[in-house]
Structure 1
Amino acid sequence: MADAVAFGVHPAAARSGAYGTAGRLPDFVRRDRFENLVRRVRVGGFVLVVGESTAGKSRLAFEAMREAVPAHVVLQARPDDDLGSLAAEAARYRRCVVWFDELDQFLRVGGLTVTMVETMLGGRHRHVVLLASMRSKEYDRYSARQRDVADAASWRAGREVLLRASEPLELERLWTADEVARARSAGFDPRVRAAARGADQFGVAELLAAGPELTKDWRHAWQPGSHPRGAALVAAAVDCRRMGLHRPVGSGLLARLHEEYLAARGGSLLRPETFAEALAWATSPVQGASSLLLPGAASGDGGYLAFDYLIDLPWLPAIPGNSWSVLLATVTPAEAYDIGWAAVDLMRATVAMEAFDLARRHDIPDADYSHAIALGNAGRPADAVRRLRALHSRRRAMFGEDHPDTLDARHDIARYLAEAGQPRRAAELLLALSADRSRVLGPDHERTLITMGTHARFLRDAGDPAGALSRLRSVLSRQQRVMGADSIDVLLTRQETARTLGHTGQLPEALAEMARVRADQERVLGPAHPQVLTSRYEFAVLTGLSGDAAGAVDQLRVLLPDQERILGRHSRTLSSRHQLGRFLAAAGHAEEALRQLRDVISEQELLHGPDHPRTFDTRYDHACVTGVVCHPGQARPLLLALERDCRRVLGDEHAQTVRVRERLAAG
């Protein structure tokens, strides 16, 4: 317990005259949430601290543990431990803390289960604390808002573990005025007082860990004659973590990966240093604090791990396609499964298919199902439906008709049927599923209400917006009663209600409701949350549909920099650019619209693939605008090629195919 750094606490710059571990740890400043956390630890159970990297989560938890339960045994969990054995060992002690730093590392394939949690916490006359920390971005991956891309059983198992924890204690990166005042007190460590002087822009813990300084060093290292090879090594290691690999990466793999990053910046023109010099620079701590790359072992090539502060920086560029291929060629099948879900999150559907295919060929649990989901996300919904129907039959035979996995398969079959151009059939299936979930789980269970809301959405897409609106209002009332007005699901249902109002022609009411939803989302989630960006996007589209194309253009031009800063190269960003092109044409700027749509098609083909419905949708608008800017005759070959591709991928009766065919018939 003398070495907080070994528990995941970030070290600080060495203090003059200090030596050893103690010198790496600054004085502790009691955060406003400290007493709350101490009380939770004294109560016991599963206690989770959530916040951004370098918010001070691990230090707060470490000090709360020492304050609240100084006589307890502490077991430190590591991701490569046999967690079943760890659970059994924890169950032997009457007073025990089990420490999980970066809990998401324990929620992957073969990781922590609800049964293990119950084993550790169970028994009479025991006081056990499962004390865990987790980055906000990773915690959000397991929240309800991610269910559309992560309905797989492994994701749900991780979420069920998280639901065993009490309400997470959320720690802000930026310190409050009271916290900064305590840090500036004369008796405190001079390093803390110095960090507090920069608290108007950065968090104090962030500055103590040298996060901003390390970021600046990395960005400046690309300059010719500086440390460009070192910067490329850091970029490759950061992207390994962004691609879902969170263990240290060997120097051999980094050597292979980094060359592409170096070449993209200028290669030999940058006068790069040797590999040994680059590695030495990247692993050198800044003023004795953290380094850009953290060695994974004390001796030998234990690999290198990118400092976690770097992986959530908002300006990081898209991961090169070749990096995914190189990484997948070196990882284990279980790691390939994690990489597949990282690819899903980053909208790299073809990479996800490749990763899940590797995992399923080695019998990784749930990889077959995940591969089917990836097929649907890659623009092959009909193939996804065929796979999911086979998996549903297998689950029904193994688990029974009413098992959660069996019911989830029915939900996903309906979802991809809708994407395959059969929203009416999808709505019929979800109506039956709603009744079954109500019977099995209860009429007010979260998943029952989610199914009802999805049913209403598909009913709208099938051509019954009035019926959908009535059902959405009904389920919204029940969700508000069960989940509360500020629930993520309630806000999402309100968003869908506003969209459906637009489909019924009630555009003023739709705009007013979408504005209210956005205001509530900003209050609950913050202005930078992706769901708030979606509401801004929907409001801009509704503005354009109401006849104000110029207003829609203005809103999308303001939205796009925020999306690019927060989401990066994401499908939602491309959707905004597509709509910008569409409304530019409606506002009379056809040539600019044509350039915009042409660029979007190129990026969609890279991100989603040439056969994805989103790519087809943009190609349709591009062909229509071509007929305006150039000549109607030049649009026809574009539409004919699009019709062939739509028929080949989506089928003759898909709404996309029908729309193109009708446009051709109209001349």
Structure 2
Amino acid sequence: MERELEDLAASVAEALVSAMRSRDWDLMELRFRDCFARAGVRGGYARRLARDRRLMASGELTAAQIHSAWNRRLSPMFAELPDLAGELRELLPKLDLPESADRPAPAANAISGGTVANAVMAGSIGSVTIHQEAASPAASDGWPLVGGLRRLGLGVRPTRRTVGQTALPPYVARDGDDELSVLLRQAAHYGGLVVVTGGPLSGKTSTAWAALRASVAEDSRVFVAGGGTDLRDLPDQLRGRDSEGTHVVWLDDLEDHLAEPSTPGVLAQLTHDRVLVLATMRDEAYDRHRFGRHPAARALSVAQTFEVPTEWSEAELARLATVDDPRLADAVRWRGFLGITQFLALGPDLWEEWRRAQRAGGRRLGYLLVRAAIDFARHGITEALPLEALVAVANEYEEHPEAGTEEAYVEALAWAASLRTGVAGLLVPGEEEETWRACGTLVADALRVPDFPAADQYVWWGMLDGARKHRPAEHDALLAAARADLRARAEAGDVDVMRILGEFAGRAGDMTDAKRWYGKVVELDRSNALTVGQDLVELGEYTEATRYLEMAAADGNRWAASALARLHFDRAERWLARATAQGDKKAAATLAHLRSGPRMGPDTVKE
């Protein structure tokens, strides 16, 4: 078996060398690369093939050296990768290759740049020099290299980034990448127009970029035509180009170029000249130009098309999960109805527009509504809420001491919810009618920004009231988050926050913590005794309440004295009523006397 694999490696190496000498190298290379790809082999073998062929053509490596290198490389691979051995064993008989590399190559003398009446063709000629004027290199041979293409330079939108991050996260392969690569390889060999279509911000440009780099050699030449570029001289630039190289014309947003009447003719000429034209178009733009009587319909009818879906499959999401980049993790968690690429591309624009809306003369009410929705989401209420819940929180921000009118908030909502780039607004609709939540990109950014404004105790009150009314199932979790968030500020000595924490602890049923915070409030500022006493009455802690009300009354606070008397009055009535119900006649007489007099005010003691 080992001997058989060694023989196979030698045969494949010989076939590779012969293919490198063939005029049909592009097609041969494609077939070899497909074998490697189907067998799951990675590691830059396409680049090695292209490099070795170039070095053999320049004379830097001999055919024997290349044969030996590939023989040594393939032998151990076949032992470890039987699928690769099977693929190449099946391919060899199908190849129509030139004579074996072991035989002398036929003379390949050539004279160019002038007219010669007679020429001698021989295997070798010594010490003969023929001076001819060299032909001028084609302009296209000076185009940039495919290996130097960068996504940002092609128009891909930068994503949010923090210190140490690149402008874009790593490219994650889509399910159809291999299919697109096959189309590009065929078009690179035979010439043709390949149009990558998809919805807005679906990742068309990135997908096309990745497929191109996987389909042609890095030293292939590419012309990137920006919007408004005159394409009419492209055929002239390509005339006389290096026939051994691959030339690509890149047309992002092809619909912009189709506005020029000459473009369909240029596309037809380029494909006739065996040039790969790679373009992107939005789905609706492609349909508008392709069908009906549009002048570009004929040019598009011969194009190969590939659609990039906005939604990501489970397999694609699984691949994404293996990439260590927090921006991708945020996209998975917070994207909502957005596609991954839509989330990444839209985020920076939405954040910048929202941030700038707070300035004087901006959309201040809209800014506050969105901030309220962000605060709800980053503290756990991710479901959409009605406008009134957002307004209640927006009115609590210190930057906006006076509430806007109902009409002003309705107008602010319309601005915040309007679609940006046809994809999403700052606020997006919920499943329930007339409910709204912050776009997930804003929530993710707010959670990553270290100096995002913290919610104060009044904002927490507003959010808790909104949750209790509209999302009761999530109220307790939000209450726990509020207590945890405010604790540090209370420990630092903020008396107002201490009192709020006492109220929150009481709402949570944690009376031990409530009494602790209320005690600290009065300890730091005795003038709060009345307020603390009233809060404790509301919580049913009458003994503790009495202590604080007596303290305030002793300090001369008449309101405290009145509240204390009312508390005693109500408690006396309550207990006398209970004794009367149990048959105590003296209690009944006292209760009747008590009730015959004027009341002190509304009851403050719960029965």
Query: What TM-score bracket applies, with the shorter chain setting the length?
Result: 0.3 to 0.5
**What TM-score, normalized by structure 1, do the two folds share?**
0.31
Structure showing greater radius of gyration is 2
Q: Decide which structure has greater helix share.
A: 1
**What TM-score, normalized by structure 2, do the two folds share?**
0.34
